[in-house]
Amino acid sequence: MPPSESLDALLARIHAAERGPHVAAAFDYDGTLISGYSAGAFYQHRIRSGDMGPIELARTALIARRGIADPSEFATFFTFALEAWIGTEEADLEALGDKLFKGTIASKLHHEAFALVEAHREMGHTLVLASSAMRFQTEPMARELGIEHVLSTEIEIVDGRVTGGVVGKPLFGPEKARGLRDLAQAEGLDLEQSFAYSNGREDIPFLEAVGHAAAIEPDAELWAEAALRGWPVLRCAPPPSSIPGPKDVARTAAFYGGLLGAMGIGTGVGLLSRRRSAMSDIGMGMGTDVALKLAGVDVRVVRGSEHLWSHRPAVFIFNHQSKMDPMVVTKLIREDFTAVGKAQAKNVPVFGQFFQLAGMTFIDRSDNAKAREALEPVVEAIRGGKSLMIAPEGTRTPTPRLGPFKKGPFHIAMQAGVPIVPIVLKGIHTVQSRGGQLIHPGTVEVVVLPPFLTDRWKPRTVGIHADEVRDAMLEILRDWPTATNGKGAH
């Protein structure tokens, strides 16, 4: 079997290729872009809903164990699986696909495959997601990653409802290769200069269709074929398990226990001294130190630690992927800061009450007028010497891709007359997934960018400045530094 290639070697191959949209980068979905199969999330949904009978469950488990051998067998299985959705409204299936993607599937993204997608985007290549699955499974990921072309098995929709039929042939085996060739002809793609990635033996024709093929987490037969053809093989780190083990439960309990203990001390000191700031400075600053240490989470600033202190007060912004992000950023900022959270956070037992006592601002995102009104005291708090910690994306993103920025944090900084200090996090996914509750040991690396001064900003140009800041964060995420600069945080 061929030795595994490093991710850096595959990235170098991409950067050595021709630039431009005539070069395609086509990715298989299940097992390639993500770990496992997106259909599993749909089956789990049906099992929880009580909609999956024992015969269907047993048959599905059998096929999952032994795999599918040829296109005709896949067509039979696909039709069988599709029967469960007969009569379902198209809009309902689209909504379910989005829900399952954000709640389950997105966390299975191979971060190595994500890095390949981003490298191809940087080269201006045409991105393609090709899968035998339904578009309801594939399109949410394509939208999230900005993949413009989706090839999938087309199911029949009549009067807005699923009929149970398939339009044409399922996009499995040779049909996926045909779909890619058809797209190449329609879009003027040069397949000899193009790239394709897959994990399964059924996609050998798909990989043969391009000049640069690679196997990602391949099955045994594809691995053997890759050895014969000289195709590189990439192994991916498994995503954090969503199934709690004893150590995971113990670490998570230790994390929250340490945080709650420090919050209790902070609350006591704050009430005795009548200083609200003591609650957050002790409860969260010291609390995150203790909690992260107990959970086995190491935080390392690889560049720019001096920018955490060079301009205070400031508006500290960060890329937001999980519940762990604010904990890491709190550890970095440490003192004299406030934060903004969604209104629902007030109802979280113990933590919600502590955040209210500590002076955190809560906003109702469903009401823009109330949200703007709620932020007015934040500007005054910053003018009074408090820094602000806020995620400009507004909510956690399903994948590592940096989402669009809201203008609110930038208006706040401009009105308060303080700089924007971007904090860029990498490796959060190894510690906690977007929707996960468990905390895993791991290392989070941090880059703190130089402050963006806001004294010359104008309201009409805030959107331009927000884009400039986002571009700077994207550049760091694309070309992550390795040398440690500054004392760091551990």
Give me the active site residues, please. Answer: 28, 30
> Strands 149-158 and 442-448, how do they pair?
unpaired
Planar angle of CA 388, 394, 399, nearest 5 degrees: 120
How big is the chain by its Cα radius of gyration, in Å? 25
Cα 384 off chain centre by: 35
Pick the closest to residue 71 from 205, 266, 221 (CA basis): 205
As a whole number of angstroms, the distance between CA 345 and CA 395 comes to 13
Query: Which residues 6+ apart lie within 8 Å of 409 measured at CB?
Result: 315, 317, 388, 390, 392, 420
Handedness of CA 241, 244, 247, 249 (dihedral sign): positive
Three-class SS of the chain: CCCEECHHHHHHHHHCCCCCCCCEEEEECECCCECCCCHHHHHHHHHHHCCCCHHHHHHHHHHHHHCCCCHHHHHHHHHHHHHHHCCCEHHHHHHHHHHHHHHCHHHHECHHHHHHHHHHHHCCCEEEEEEEEEHHHHHHHHHHHCCCEEEEEEEEEECCEEEEEEECCCCCCHHHHHHHHHHHHHHCCCHHHCEEEECCHHHHHHHHCCCEEEEECCCHHHHHHHHHHCCCEECCCCCCCCCCCHHHHHHHHHHHHHHHHHHHHHHHHHHHHCCHHHHHHHHHHHHHHHHHHHHCEEEEEEECHHHHCCCCCCEEEECCCCCHHHHHHHHHHCCCEEEEEEHHHHHCCCHHHHHHHCCCEEECCCCHHHHHHHHHHHHHHHHCCCEEEECCCCCCCCCCCCCCCCCHHHHHHHHHCCCEEEEEEECHHHHCCCCCCCCCCEEEEEEECCCECCCCCCHHHHHHHHHHHHHHHHHHHHCCCCCCCCCCCC
157: CB partners within 8 A, 6+ apart: 90, 163
Confirm if 56 and 161 have CB atoms less than 8 A apart. no
